[in-house]
Amino acid sequence: MAAPPPRPHIALHPSNNFFKTSETIEDDAWDSASDGEEAPQSTFSFSTWSRPSSTPKPVPKPITSENTSLAFSYTHVNAPNPGSYPPREETLQPGWTIVRTRRSSNSANNDESVPEADTDVEGDMILGDLDAESSPAVPDSAKSGSIRDDAEKIADDPLCGIRRPAPISQKSKDNITHSDKLMRERSIRTNRKHKFVDCLSSQDVNIAELRKLAWAGIPSELRPMAWQLLLGYLPLTKPLRAATLARKRGEYTSLVEVAFARDREGLDQQIWHQIEIDVPRTRPGVNLWMYGATQRSLERILYVWAIRHPASGYVQGINDLVTPFFQVFLSAYIDSDPEDFDPSLLPKQVLDAIEADSFWCLSRLLDGIQDNYIFAQPGIQRSVRRMADLVARIDAPLSSHLESQNVEFMQFAFRWMNCLLMREISVQNTIRMWDTYLAEGPDAFSQFHLYVCSAFLVRWSEKLREMDFQGIIMFLQSLPTQGWGDHEVEMLLSEAFVLNSIWHNAQSHFNGK
């Protein structure tokens, strides 16, 4: 797949004179690390700047029932609370490089004050991750040795990446005979994986059987292909897959080339600026999303999607929805933890395939929930109203307490709907949850998710009924889900399934339509 063209990485509001390069800029500065090209030589002077920890964060706008356009004010002005994610080891924070296009005549020395990243500055740019020393150190698990030898073959045919589980040897049986329970659990996992492999390897995949198997979770090594089949991106008929992948990836490359054909002058500056603000905030503390190659791919995915969907454009929160796809598809090509892997180590063909596949699968997902992101976000408004009504029926004491404390569902449930609970649980939890969503069908991200959010709130009912307004809001914005694993997620999904079974066919019970 042809390399997308170089593109700018600007983390500041563009000033009126920013793009007038004829007088103040002799050459353009580009961050093209993910394009496989050397950055053009520039006459700029570079100085390294580490973002101070005391930099004030933007303050979210207050949330009221009258405010119907909340996506731009509430969910993403601040990075997610670190308490919403599992604890991770300390990692180096990505550095920033400030590029001086011209020096102030009033500057008496080199100790110039550094502007904040979200303020208008004339003639200056801040380029992220251009300084190699400020990028996160590549852990041993991210060395090229963890890339699968058959990575390029997998890009052409996902079935090549599937490894049939080996039968349990007699020696292994002898080693675990002391635990019949362990033996049974291992046998169940092996048999289940065999069923998945048989289903995915068939000439024409039985989608009903795949959905049935996927509801209870998909083995990690089989998930990339299974997700693409469940989303309808990968054809069910085996002989059609290679040609379909080549066509769709080529189409995405063309979209990127057209979108960036005029370099920065041709971009929609409002969309591009918001994307560049959000991308560095995506999954803070996770190495994968701090690498330059990952951020460049994410920027292209989001920008191309936005200009193809003018009814909504880019809305904060969509950047989060890309992360499970990118991480799952990356895992098909490596034998290490994708959260610690630097995608720039991959062959270009493979990285291009991951980016294109992530784009198309994101598009498939958003097709079913696009009214969440159009003007006034009616899909989210409707879901929040239905959630409030549902909780009133399944947990009347909790609903009454929230009302007595003047807590509106919009104050916390908006983010749950907008980001599909991704700010409340880890990526691993989200991926497991999406196995079931995709198995439920195309409406699961709007319909089934309503019941998941309701079950999620009721889970904390006892604690919430002992809190006042401030305690409730603070608790719901930093839930104790850091230690959640598959068991907790599966219990939540089971509770949501029960609610769905009871209430889904009783639409007349809901006040909000």
In order, the DSSP letters of 36-48 are TSPPPP---EEEE
Residue 492 vs residues 113, 262, 424, 429, 448: alpha-carbon distances, Å: 50, 48, 13, 11, 12
- Give the list of residues 6+ apart from residue 506 with CB closer than 8 angstroms, or none: none
pLDDT value of residue 190: 82
Here the tokens at position 317 are 């929160």
pLDDT band at 160 (very low <50, low <70, confident <90, very high): confident
Read off the pLDDT of residues 458-507 as tens digits, 9 standing for 90 and up.
999 999 999 999 999 999 999 999 899 999 999 999 999 999 999 876 65
Residue 311 burial (C-beta neighbours within 10 Å; 0-12, 13-18, 19+): exposed
- Give the list of residues 6+ apart from residue 207 with CB closer than 8 angstroms, or none: 229, 230, 236
> Percent helix, strand and coil across the chain, each rounded to 5?
55, 5, 45
Read off the pLDDT of residues 417-457 as tens digits, 9 standing for 90 and up.
999 999 999 999 999 999 999 999 878 999 999 999 999 99
The CA distance from 344 to 4, in Å, is 14
Here the tokens at position 322 are 């890309």
Torsion of CA 15, 305, 368, 73, to 10 degrees: -10
Read off the pLDDT of residues 74-95 as tens digits, 9 standing for 90 and up.
333 333 333 333 444 444 334 3
- Determine which helix (DSSP H) or strand (DSSP E) holds 99, and give its type and residue range: strand 96-100
pLDDT band at 64 (very low <50, low <70, confident <90, very high): very low
Is residue 311 within 8 A of residue 42, CB to CB? The reply is no
Q: What is the average pLDDT across 349-363?
A: 97
| Of the candidates 482, 500, 374, the residue with the CA atom closest to the CA atom of residue 428 | 482
pLDDT value of residue 467: 97
| Of the candidates 4, 388, 346, 290, the residue with the CA atom closest to the CA atom of residue 149 | 346
Q: Which of 186-195, 204-213, 247-256, 282-291 has the lowest mean pLDDT?
A: 186-195
| Of the candidates 30, 21, 509, the residue with the CA atom closest to the CA atom of residue 292 | 30
pLDDT band at 162 (very low <50, low <70, confident <90, very high): confident
The CA distance from 489 to 491, in Å, is 5
